[in-house]
Amino acid sequence: MSTAPDITTIAPRDRAEILAQALPYIRQFHGKTMVIKYGGNAMTDPALQQDFAEDVVLLKLVGINPVVVHGGGPQIETLLQRLGKKGEFIQGMRVTDAETMEVVEWVLAGEVQQDIVGLINQAGGKAVGLTGRDGAMIRARKLRMTDQADPSREHDVGQVGDIVAVDPAVVKALQDDQFIPVVSPIGFGQNNESYNINADVVAARLATVLQAEKLLMLTNIRGVLDKEGQLLTELTPQRIDALVADGTISGGMIPKIAGALEAAKSGVNAVHIIDGRVPHALLLEVLGNEPFGTMIRSA
């Protein structure tokens, strides 16, 4: 549950001070694009959902251009279980056969996306839901997944996509019209087949092609933790390689970190992995001056 104080309990002078402290960041980021990967507890806790929607709308109102890319793993898993189907993962990627792909499309492009759009609109924004098919935004091909332990082996993960190209024209057009794009991580192939793409990878690539000021990835942890559970506030490529090698970074964190690092190397000014369980996590990161979560550096 959100435990943020009611603003009516804060003295007027303190409220003014809080707003004044945010002003330099509003000025710095005015007119800039920020891509937000939305997932984890922030998507399933009703109070955090409302906090997230309010944060996104506030960013838009002060002249920042948020683009939301969402996941939906728990919701997909729930529906698969109801259908009597067990989810399978290889190296953090969901194995997606034809039946699972139907569920993925129904959940991501339907239920989950429309819930997010509705929350943002209810908070006073104007959100529009998109998939990679809209405006031919995300072209993909079948992902060829190499085994981490044995590079001579490949895993068949079904209709999981590897991004071929991203055309951000539809996102830019919506931004110019004051809309907030909400993107489901579904791409399409040359034969019009659908592909399930890791949402972290989509967010990172979209941030790159949009030349975003920031890529913000909401997670269920404080950031990247070492083996003792201590927060790593900053990571370089060399440190990331070492953490993958010793198993500290594993499973679903691997594509998240890989995407973040690719974005940092490709010109996104700041990439942050932040704790989506914290009320108003977005505002704390964007409009605050305290270190929050883990920052990925390109070198």
The string of DSSP letters for 40-89 reads THHHH-HHHHHHHHHHHHHHHHTT-EEEEEE--HHHHHHHHHHTT----E
pLDDT tens-digit readout, 236-283? 888 888 888 888 887 777 777 888 888 888 888 888 999 889 889 898
Dist CA 206 CA 260 (whole Å) = 11
Contacts of 47 (CB under 8 A, 6+ apart): 1, 2, 279
* Residues flagged as binding site for substrate: 72-73, 94, 196
Q: Is 9 domain-assigned?
A: no
pLDDT at residue number 3: 47
Q: Is 11 domain-assigned?
A: no
> Which 3 state secondary structure label does DSSP give 235?
strand
Is 276 within 8 Å of 40 (Cβ atoms)? yes
Q: Is 212 domain-assigned?
A: yes
* Residues flagged as binding site: 72-73, 94, 196
Which one, of 194, 133, 125, 127, lies nearest residue 167 by Cα? 133
pLDDT at residue number 267: 84
pLDDT at 5 over 60: no
Is 37 within 8 Å of 215 (Cβ atoms)? yes
Q: Is 3 domain-assigned?
A: no
Q: Is 224 domain-assigned?
A: yes
Q: Is 280 domain-assigned?
A: yes
If you average pLDDT over residues 103-113, what whole number do you get?
A: 94
CATH number of the domain bearing residue 151? 3.40.1160.10
Q: Is 18 domain-assigned?
A: no
pLDDT tens-digit readout, 153-205? 888 889 999 999 999 999 999 998 899 999 999 999 999 999 999 898 999 99
Q: 203 is in which domain, residue-wise?
A: 23-296
Q: Is 145 domain-assigned?
A: yes
pLDDT at residue number 53: 95
Token code pair at residue 165: 């190209």
pLDDT at residue number 51: 92
**DSSP-derived secondary structure letter, 109:** I
Confidence of residue 118 (pLDDT cuts 50, 70, 90): very high
Contacts of 205 (CB under 8 A, 6+ apart): 163, 166, 259, 262, 263
Domain count, the chain: 1
